[in-house]
Structure 1
């Protein structure tokens, strides 16, 4: 039986991660980017990532996975026989609109086309695409091969079959699709992240805490439990009788703090420079790629642990 084929259009950090997602799951992967060297560089990234995953037992056949990835000479070659297409080009309305029209013209009938846009609702760049009914936002976390959630965010014209089929494809390659039921800028993941990031910058700007200490707060408290449960489950576990008990005990304090949050304040240049100095003291600019590789390996180990715990939980259900 011939393995299904995916076209990855755009091979920056997100596109490369998508390539790993599909390659490790046995799909044939065709890479295409307007910048040919970017596609070639993606091959090396995919190979390294597969090796790192294989070292933790997270890829069954690394040789086959690496061999399944190739660079296409042009867009038509990449998408003309694709079972699914994932676009990951820059966050620009005109670029995305243009490439979706081209993909829609070249991809086989019945092939769904996902966009990795991180902020823009589908209605903003897909409305005039002839085959818009099969084009849908499928926004991943970064990096996609290590943070498996994907926000499937339909536009008004995407029917239940489209949403269901795309979720089915994503789940089949190990991702965790969630449906964003209403179009909204930034979807859910980035809106949650925005609240934390904006408040973090404001707390540094107001002299409440130093950048390194703020990172420590998240790494060694919230981040630990958020790796295994979301905010509602966290609340459910933090009061004797569950979620409503927690909301009753602490809800008024959250609401009061909510009125005092600084999330809408601008990012002062002085605060940005302070944060930048702290980061460069920890990791020099030339070492960021090495640190990214370290991060990815750490995420792999965490993901392996989460998978093990999930399997244990299923056994005891």
Structure 2
């Protein structure tokens, strides 16, 4: 049973705690707010039954997962003996730098120090630290207990052996690490999502489609394939001769489309003008929390289905 420290008990930290605990880790949960970690345990309890019902606790009971997560009052106690530290603090570079300076000073030399940052580069977080070679970003797609992909991002000075250990650790706790070769703003997921969102806003801004139809086009179209194969495999299977054949057939068409995608749409203006109205008609503001719960239960069902399909049909 490996010990993991989760530093920060908010939305991301409590989700990571579930992920590590169901994998059999001993999780020490610390937050500078003394009431945050106990509240996180209440959240874990609130979702664990649904996870158990969908066989998403790796065969463990709800009580076993809850018992594995220990709120601690002192950061040093959370770090003692930890093989992995998952930092989940505010997305502010000054806070990250201060936190990692403390983590570097208090943790054992072999401990991997990972940030959940979704945008801050690991080089910006770890520059100047004595132990900067063991610092990485491990950015989850939230919540990691339902969406297994984790972007593992090195700084220029991160030890390659730390990346190897990090990838092995993440696979060992049931996640799917995307092992980046070097850092870039937005990593992989936000760059892909940003490109798709830009075009979604552009289509609505230009009056070509409603926000609802754009959403349905993804949910009932592209995402059905993307839920088990990615964009490169999709096009590899969409032409008789594979990906090279697809590029030869459709590359010129996409080159023409790219010329119409050079300017970024005004997200704020089109949201205020149209998309906010559409979304609130579909889900009133007071119902957002309920819809989020619905989303997570659908994700649980999808994750359970994918696990069964991987077992029965192969990946």
* TM-score normalised by L of structure 1: 0.94
Distance 1:283 1:86, change over 3 A: same
Structure 2 spans left out of the alignment, 5+ residues: none
Deviations 1:68-98 (A, max 9, x none): 1121112222212322110111211100000
SS of match in other structure, 1:77: helix
More off after superposition, 265-274 vs 143-152: 265-274
Offset of residue 58 of structure 1: 2.2
CA distance in 2, matches of 1:20, 1:288: 23
Offset at residue 104 of structure 1 (A): 1.2
- Structure 1 distance, partners of 2:272, 2:78, is 41
How is 1:129-278 mapped onto 2 (pairs within 5 angstroms)? 129-261=129-261, 264-278=264-278
Contact persistence 1:123–1:155 (CA under 8 A)? yes
Alpha carbon RMSD of aligned pairs, Å?
1.6
Say which SS state the counterpart of residue 16 (structure 2) adopts.
Answer: helix
Inter-partner Cα distance in structure 2 for 1:73 and 1:268: 42
Change in 2 beyond 3 A, CA 1:291/1:37? farther
Q: 2:12 matched to 1:14?
A: yes
Stretch deviating more after TM superposition (254-263 or 64-73): 254-263
1:58 to 48, 56, 59: 56
Q: Does the 8 A contact of 1:202 with 1:263 survive in 2?
A: no
Correspondence list, 1:80-119, <5 A? 80-119=80-119
Provide the rounded CA distance (Å) in 2 between the counterparts of 1:116 and 1:9. Answer: 10
8 Å CA contact retained: 1:198, 1:262: no
Shift of 1:263: 5.8
Q: Residue in 2 aligned with 1:308?
A: 308
Shift in Å, 1:302: 0.8
Q: Indicate whether 1:31 and 2:26 are aligned.
A: no
Check conservation: 2:170, 2:176, Cα contact below 8 A.
yes
**Residue 274 of structure 1: CA displacement?**
2.1
Counterpart in 2 of 1:126?
126
In 2, Cα distance between equivalents of 1:41 and 1:286: 22
Distance 1:228 1:158 in 2: 31
Would the alpha carbon gap of residues 263 and 17 (structure 1) be closer, same or farther in structure 2, given more than 3 Å must change?
farther
Match of 1:46 in 2: 44
For the 8 Å contact 2:204–2:270, the answer to whether it is kept is no
Once residues 282 and 108 of structure 2 are traced to their aligned partners in structure 1, the CA distance between those partners, rounded to angstroms, is 49
Q: TM-score by structure 2 length?
A: 0.94
Provide the rounded CA distance (Å) in 2 between the counterparts of 1:54 and 1:25: 13
Structure 1: give runs of 5+ residues left out of the alignment: none
Report if aligned partners of 1:32, 1:73 keep a CA contact under 8 Å in 2.
yes
User: Which has the higher mean CA deviation after the structures are superposed, 291-300 or 33-42?
Assistant: 33-42
CA deviation after TM superposition for structure 1 residue 195, in Å: 0.3
Deviations along 1:167-186, whole A, 9 cap, x unmatched? 11100000001111121001
- How far is 1:268 from its partner? 4.0
Helix, strand or coil at the partner of 1:76: helix
> Equivalents in 2 of 1:208, 1:88: separation in Å?
40
Shift in Å at residue 273 of structure 1? Answer: 4.6
Q: Counterparts of 1:251 and 1:49 in 2: how far apart (Å)?
A: 45
- Is the 8 Å Cα contact of residues 201 and 270 (structure 2) preserved in structure 1? no
Query: For the structure 1 residues 183 and 67, does the alpha-carbon distance in structure 2 shift closer, same or farther, using more than 3 Å as the test?
Result: same
Cα shift at 1:109: 2.1
